[in-house]
Structure 1
C-alpha cells in the first residue's frame, strides 16, 4: 500500500542507522574522542544536543545513590510542601552538573523496584500481565495540544494491544486519567485479571499511575507546574509561541529539566513488549534514549521541533520541505534516527492553533468521540491518526519493514484511517466502556 503512493522529494533529512553497541559506547566511553566524533558527525542536526549532553556527562559531580533515592522518595512524602519539592526538582534535574545518565538509570530501576513491591503488597503478580505495548507521552508541551497519546492508543487498539498509563494534569488543562474518567472508565483498585481481560477482548486498558503508587501528590504537581512555567517564561521572553523563531528558541534555550518527565514515562514498570514515548525538549532526548538502552527496550521516541511530545501535523513553520518531526526507533540491534514533515507521511500541514487543547474537558471528550466515530475530518483527526500510526510502526509486527520510517508511517496511517471509517474503533471502545462499567459496578458492590 505504501509503495503505491507517490512520495514527495525527501530533501535533506536526517536518516541514519546506528548499531546499539556503537551508541552505548558513545554514552559510556567518554574519553574516546575518535568514536565520539564519528557518531556525532552522523547525527547531523542532533550533533549539538548530544555533544552538550556528553559535555555534561564528563563534568558530573553526582550524589551517591542513597541520596538520590532519598530525594526521589521525598517527592512521595505528603509532608513536603510545593516549594520544598521545587528545590528537590532542581536538585534532580538532568544536566545540572550532578544528575546524568547513570543517575537517571538508577532512578528508573529504583522506581521499578518500588512499583514491584507495591504490587506484591496488593497481591498482584506483574508477571501475569499479558503481552502488550505501552505508550506514555511525557507531557509538558510548550504548545498545549489535544491529548494525542490516549486517543491514539484507543484508535490503535483494534490492531495492537496497548496498555496506556497516565496521570492527572500537571501542565495541561487536564490529564489522561481525568479524560478516561470522563469517558466513564475508572478502576477502584488494580486488578491484573481485569487488565488482561480488557487487553484480550478490546486491545486496550488504562492504568492511572496513582494505582501504581507513583509520586503524584498535589504539592508535587504544583512544584512541577512551577518548573514548567519557569521554562515557558524563559522561552517567551525570547520569542512568542509559534513565531518564526520559535523552533530555534526551543533548540537554544537552556531549561531546567523535570526528572519526572524522563523517569516516570520511561521506567516501563509494566514490562511492555514495545514502548512509545515523546519528549517536548530535545535536551531530554539523550537521557530518554539512555533509558531505552539501559532497559533493553524496543519502540519509538518522537519529538516535534515546535516543543510537542507527539508526532505532529502542525507547525510554526509553513515550508512543506521543512521537517518538523524527529523519529527515533529502537529495535533489537539498531537505533534509527529520521526526520519527517507532515507532507512526507501524506498529511496536510496545519497551524499549531488547529490542534490546540480545549480548556473544557467535556468539549475534549466530545471532540475525541467525533474522531473515534469517523465524523470529524481535518487537522485534529490527522494529529490523532498520525500518533496511532506511530504505535503500529513501533510494534514492528504489523506494518511491513521498509528502508524509511516515513514510508511505514504512510501505510500505518492508511490502516488507521480504515479502522476508524469502518467504525471498528468506535464500536470497540464502546464495548470496552460498557464491559468496564459493568465490572466497576460489580466491584463497587463487593467493597
Structure 2
C-alpha cells in the first residue's frame, strides 16, 4: 500500500507519522511519500519520520519529494494537508478582519474566505494531477476550510472525502469523562465543517442509549471549559456545540479577546520554529511534547481509520466525515457538503440518517451553506463582486459597509495568491 501526503513538510506531520507507526496493523503502509515544495522543512520532517518508523519497528519506506506528480503516482490514497501562503497568510487572515470589528479566524468569516480563495485552485490542480497519474486513488482532504475544499473536489468529480478532527476529539474526551473506551462512544454529530453540534452521545453504536443528558449533568463544567463557553450556553442548548460556534454565539466578546493578544498564527509560527529546530536533532526519534500544542489532536487516528475503510482494509464502519448531502439534511441542496456520521467503505462515504434538528440549527446551517456556495464560486471564477457577495452572505459579516471594506482588505492582502486579482 502506498500513501502520499501533500503538505508533508508541515511541522504537524510527525503526529501523522506516529499514528501510522502505532496503527500499522490497521493501515499496513509499504511506502509513504511526503510531498512539499519547501525542501528544507521536508528534509527535517522526513528525517524525523524515518526515525519514528525505525524506533517503532515499522517496515515501511518513507520517501520525500517536491515533485507532486512523482509523489502521487501509483498512490492508493493521497492526504492533503497544505497551507497556501503559510503562517504569514494565516496571520493576515486573523488580523485584518478585526479592523472592521469582525472575527479574524482562518476557517470562517472573512479570513476563512481568504483561505478558501487561495486554497481551492491549488487543491484542484493537485487533484487533477492525482487523477492523471492514478484515477482510482482516494483523496482525503484535511486542508481547511474542509467543507468548501471538499465540495470543490466532489463537484469536479474527484474521489474525495473531507476529514476534521473535531468529532474524534469530542469522542475521546467524552469517553474519558464517561470512563468508557472511545470505541463505545457514537456521536450524533451533525452540521457543516466547523459548524456542528453533538445532539446525542450514544453508547454502543447508532442505536445505543443516549447519555448526553447524563454527560452534561455530571460534567457540564468540564465540557463548557473545553469549549471556552459559559456553562449557561451549553445547558440552554442541551447539546454540545463545536468550539467554532464561539464565533457565532459570542462574536463581539471574541473580537475583543482577539484584539488584546497575539494572533494564533504568531503563536504557531514560534512553535514551528522551535519544532523544526528539534526535528533537526538526529537523536530525536519520537514526536516531541510541544507538538501537542500545535493543534489537530487525534488527526492521525482519524486519518488512519478513514484511509483503512476507503482502501478496504477494515476501519470503523461509522465515521464522521465531510461528504455530499444527497438529501440527508432535507433543507439543504443535494450537492452541499455536510459533516455527519457516515458508513465508510471502499465505495466511499454514505451519510447515516441525521437526527431531526431544531430551527435554531437548521437556519444557521442553511445560511452558512449558502455562503459556502458563493465562496466556492468566487474561488473558482474570481472577481471582486463574487468576493463581496460571499462576504455579504456570511452571518459573521452581513452588513453592506463591512462587506465592502472587507473585500478591499481581502484583495489587498492576497493579490500574490489570486491569479485574477
TM-score scaled by length of structure 2 = 0.37
Give the strand-richer structure, 1 or 2.
Answer: 2
Q: Which has the higher contact order (CA 8 A, sep 6+)?
A: 1
- The alignment's TM-score, normalised by the length of structure 1, stands at 0.35
